Structure 1
């Protein structure tokens, strides 16, 4: 059983399936698999509002990305020496392709985990009970801690040491595409508080010009409790040199509560000292020799993969 059908959960499921475990179930409280591989349809267009792209620095992800390219699930967007890859119809389109080969149950929130004689019983918000011999959790660390504490389990100091910044993303429907280069992306020399701007018509995933304006973690943390109307107004004010008010047709706001781990841990996963296997993974868990040293698409993939490899080894010994 895997709680969380984001990239870490999907990577873990693939390893377990390859290791011969055919009864893997992924649970996710969201409406679809993918987590922060999120794409929103707006009118006749679409916009990524989580991860905009991913890069490849390790052989493990390089092999997977080559397969995804061959299958037509992703494309190169821009960048050298590390190309930026994106889903051909947005980042969530990649997640959906990855999820097709697994049993994924969405809109299912686990509120309690009970230890049982032969594993765990997961209690859902609707009152359902699902049994599992072992468990991998890939939700953001604060959510994992909350669930473990509600279940009477000690999450340990390592997990509690992980700290996240939130992120605001304004999704701006435009009258005309932005002038921000051929790639439709900018993350340099931006006004204070802005992290990046992406135009999805120039990115090639939207039939209509829609821009995502990302705010930095620090700015988002300072503004997180403010009303959405005030947040939107301030974002558009700061983005005005690139997104002129007369070019704006409509605006939506996305709040990511746990967007980026500003204090990750250099350990690919954590295993609790329970009677039955319970492992915790996610993008905030980095390998000791992580080539980038920060949370990202690749760290989520590698963490889920490492946790599943360890779990498969344990289960084969039982």
Structure 2
């Protein structure tokens, strides 16, 4: 049995590479600590008490859009998953230095072709991992080695594995690796992992009325707006309405709003109502109106973006690491840190038999 810990982009790369090498789904087990697929790409729901509409309360609060490297495109075509991805229907625009959306900023910020998951990220991951055994709510807490076999446990049971691929963020992987007995013959890259640094992120899932949005004196034909220079308190505003059936939103204009690393670090431990009000003030500046939110919820990313990917020693054939923090050491062109493509490719490399 090969065990893959996590169900995000790196896990998808690992499963894809294993399938290419002839490993059947029956010999692969995915362990997921939460109840949803996708890792940091997972969709999140607002509670029914906040808003009862089944479609509009679902938000992609990780990467709302991304490029697709050739290897990922091959995976999508091979597994008939390409239909989940569509090119952005409207441009990604810039927020000016004051964090405002204006006509002058209505240009693409990148020449790359960008894609989003039609209907949201979760629908894609459900299809991508269909046919594989997945254990949800499995919070891996320890590893041990015995006679060339790895055992991974959650405190109540252990699972034997011929190979384990860890795809969680570096601090969580390091915590798990430290549970291995000191006498183990495995070479553990603890030092490399301890050097990895992450940016925090606060993400607001919210909606204003369509009437309010239409009245805003700003350029409106955009899919998302990003901080062009990294100096805005808002890093990204994405229109979730454009990803799903418009009629599901009725009179709402829902947004995912990701704040800058600086803002997120300063307000990470603040109470939710304070964070919502401070983000709302920045939205008022961005749209040039008094934004009244119909509902709002703050999500926290402690490990949002890896700042300094590391070359990680992977000498053990039974324990591998994957994620956007693992540098490309295969000799090819390195992927941009923190991207879906980087995570996917690291999973592919970790799964090489």
TM-score class normalised by the smaller sequence? 0.7 to 0.9
In the TM superposition, what whole-angstrom CA distance separates every residue of 1:111-161 from its partner, at most 9, and x where no partner exists?
100111141111114x01111011110000000011111334644211211
User: Are the structure 2 counterparts of residues 246 and 33 from structure 1 closer, same or farther at C-alpha, using a change threshold of 3 Å?
Assistant: closer
Contact 1:271 1:277 in 2 (8 A): no
Contact 1:282 1:303 in 2 (8 A): yes
- Unaligned residue ranges in structure 1 (runs of 5+): 313-318
Tell me the TM-score normalized by structure 1: 0.86
- 1:254 lines up with 2:299 in the alignment: yes
- 1:132 lines up with 2:181 in the alignment: no
Contact 1:165 1:217 in 2 (8 A): yes
Kindly state the Cα deviation for residue 12 of structure 1 after the two structures are TM-superposed.
0.2
Aligned equivalent of 2:117: 87
Give the alignment partner of residue 34 of structure 1, picking from 38, 52, 55: 38
> Any idea what SS the aligned residue of 1:150 has?
coil
Aligned equivalent of 1:168: 202
Matches within 5 A, 1:1-318: 1-22=3-24, 23-42=27-46, 43-44=52-53, 45=56, 46-56=58-68, 58-65=69-76, 71-78=82-89, 81-125=111-155, 127-152=156-181, 154-176=188-210, 178=213, 180-188=219-227, 192-204=232-244, 207-208=248-249, 209-242=253-286, 244-265=289-310, 267=311, 270-271=313-314, 273=316, 277-287=318-328, 289-290=332-333, 293-309=336-352, 312=353
User: Are the structure 2 counterparts of residues 205 and 223 from structure 1 closer, same or farther at C-alpha, using a change threshold of 3 Å?
Assistant: farther
| Distance in 2 separating the partners of 1:278 and 1:131 | 13
Contact 1:270 1:279 in 2 (8 A): no
Cα RMSD over matched residues? 2.4
| Distance in 2 separating the partners of 1:81 and 1:119 | 47
> Any idea what SS the aligned residue of 1:271 has?
coil
| Distance in 1 separating the partners of 2:118 and 2:78 | 14
Larger relative contact order (CA 8 Å, sep ≥ 6): 2
In the TM superposition, what whole-angstrom CA distance separates every residue of 1:216-267 from its partner, at most 9, and x where no partner exists?
12321222222222222211112212354444111100001101001112x4
User: Are the structure 2 counterparts of residues 137 and 180 from structure 1 closer, same or farther at C-alpha, using a change threshold of 3 Å?
Assistant: farther
Structure (1 or 2) with the larger CA radius of gyration: 2
- Unaligned residue ranges in structure 2 (runs of 5+): 47-51, 92-109, 183-187
User: Are the structure 2 counterparts of residues 180 and 135 from structure 1 closer, same or farther at C-alpha, using a change threshold of 3 Å?
Assistant: farther
Contact 1:264 1:286 in 2 (8 A): yes
Tell me the TM-score normalized by structure 2: 0.78
